[in-house]
Amino acid sequence: MRVLVLGADGYLGWPTALYLSHRGHDVGALDNFVRRQYDYELGTSSLVPIAHLQRRVKTWEEMSGLRVEPFIGDLNDAGFVYDTLREFKPDAIVHFAEQRSAPYSMIDRSHAVYTQVNNVVGNLNLLFAIAEIDPSIHLVKLGTMGEYGTPNIDIEEGFIEITHRGRTDVLPFPKQPGSYYHLSKVHDSHNIMFACRIWGLRSTDLNQGIVYGQETDETVLHPDLATRFDYDGVFGTVLNRFCVQAVAGHPLTVYGAGGQTRGMLNIRDTLACVELAVNNPAEEGEYRVFNQFTESFSIQELADKVVDAASGPVTISNLDNPRVEKEQHYYRAAHTKLLDLGLVPHLLDRSTVSSILAVAERHRDRIDVNAIAPSANWRTAGQKGRVRSEAGSSTS
């Protein structure tokens, strides 16, 4: 199949592009490198050194004999999106290309606005381009489990049957997201569902949990093929962060009580899930949702696993929670649709945690402990909205 991977320079997009190429798909790799720009802005960098996209593509061709075709540009540039679809002629598009950090979106007004414009407008440009150029293209869109929030009932896969005053319907599951980033994914989901309904597009919304790990069968073949590994207080996700903290001798930063429970999955399962969705496309006009995670854990349980797997003593520190979120709550979410399609999960055992600790250990000289503390605060973000004009007077 011809698969265009959007966000193919990122943590998940790059290994997905390699995986799909290795498994016989013709792959296009689109990115505008804005993720590298956030590193310059925040003064951070990937723990594992990453090669530029052009070098990655060249090394992959040398190693495998397979060609991944790069497309450099911004999804917010509609002309670029239309031109790319006309040129590459994909059967499926896998859309990873969004600003994906909840803390980044909660720094202040401008970061919240940027996140929603980048994500929602980029996705809208894509929907219009698909509708005009080839409505049979299957859009596989990365959403997030965080779209649902943490309701006090079981979470279904996208839709819930509701009986209200004697009448019954199947409706989208209620959304209670926890950041302006997570909200951008909800807006995307609504826009995609609408486009499927009015134009007959076909789409799979993958509501993915938190991904951990860094190595895949393809990325370990050569250092140029490595994917990024974020551990800083803005882009680092919880388990990867805890592994780096353990190696650096930094207390594990559990926010608040640590009872926050989330769906999680191994990076290798991200690749497998995406290919299962690509190989089993949605029907014409169908908008379907898969909950893409394999197990759920509380943050405290994750910290305990890292303490258990680490070679030396590791302490845990319960920080004041910079986020506004429930710290003890009910959590049970359905995730059977990808299993039904054949997913065989890599579960989180001690050896998996050890393998992430080993990655951190190999690159321990690159750890910047000053980057670890959380910097965005949900409570104070609302007071960081004012715009200062060039003349120095403030406006709102």
Which residues are known to be catalytic?
A: 144, 181, 185
C-alpha closest to that of 122 among 192, 53, 179, 193? 192
Is 142 one of the binding residues for ligand NAD (CB under 6 A)?
A: yes
DSSP class per residue in 190-226: HHHHHHHHHH--EEEEEEE-EEE----TTGGG-GGGP
C-alpha closest to that of 181 among 229, 146, 231? 146
Min separation Cβ 356 and ligand NAD, Å = 13
Min separation Cβ 101 and ligand USQ, Å = 5
Scanning residues 297 to 356, which ones bind ligand NAD (CB under 6 A)? none
Please, which residue, 10 or 281, has the CB nearer to ligand NAD?
A: 10
Is 144 one of the binding residues for ligand NAD (CB under 6 A)?
A: yes
Please, which residue, 262 or 288, has the CB nearer to ligand USQ?
A: 262
By 3-state DSSP, what share of the chain in percent is helix, strand and coil, each rounded to 5?
Answer: 40, 20, 40
Please, which residue, 34 or 282, has the CB nearer to ligand NAD?
A: 34
Furthest C-alpha separation in the chain: 64
Stretch that binds ligand NAD, among 11-19, 166-174, 248-256, 275-283 (CB under 6 A): 11-19
| Distance (Å, whole) CA 172 – CA 228 | 34
- Across-strand partners of 31? 72
Task: By CB under 6 A, name the binding residues for ligand USQ.
Answer: 100-102, 144-146, 182, 209-210, 237-238, 241, 253-255, 260, 262-263, 299, 323, 325
CA dist list (Å): 252 to 203, 290, 306 = 39, 32, 9
Which residue do the tokens 């929602």 mark?
A: 120
Give which of ligand NAD, ligand USQ, none residue 253 binds (C-beta under 5 to 8 Å, depending on kind).
ligand USQ
Scanning residues 65 to 124, which ones bind ligand NAD (CB under 6 A)? 74-76, 96-100, 118, 122
Is 28 one of the binding residues for ligand NAD (CB under 6 A)?
A: no
E strand map for the chain: 2-6, 26-31, 68-72, 92-95, 138-144, 159-164, 167-172, 202-208, 210-212, 252-255, 261-266, 287-292, 295-298, 316-319, 387-388, 394-395
Tokens of 113: 């606005």
Min separation Cβ 188 and ligand NAD, Å = 9
339 three-state secondary structure: helix
Please, which residue, 145 or 193, has the CB nearer to ligand USQ?
A: 145
Please, which residue, 85 or 107, has the CB nearer to ligand USQ?
A: 107
* Sign of the alpha-carbon torsion through 107, 110, 116, 118: negative
| Distance (Å, whole) CA 293 – CA 239 | 14
Binding ligand NAD by CB under 6 A: which of 21, 32, 216, 377? 32
Give which of ligand USQ, ligand NAD, none residue 5 binds (C-beta under 5 to 8 Å, depending on kind).
none
Please, which residue, 100 or 363, has the CB nearer to ligand USQ?
A: 100
Stretch that binds ligand NAD, among 9-17, 250-258, 317-325, 357-365 (CB under 6 A): 9-17
Give which of ligand NAD, ligand USQ, none residue 93 binds (C-beta under 5 to 8 Å, depending on kind).
none
Which residues neighbour 287 within 8 Å (Cβ) at sequence distance 6 or greater? 192, 193, 196, 197, 203, 205
Contact residues for ligand NAD (CB under 6 A)? 7, 9-13, 31-35, 74-76, 96-100, 118, 122, 142, 144, 208, 210-211, 228, 237
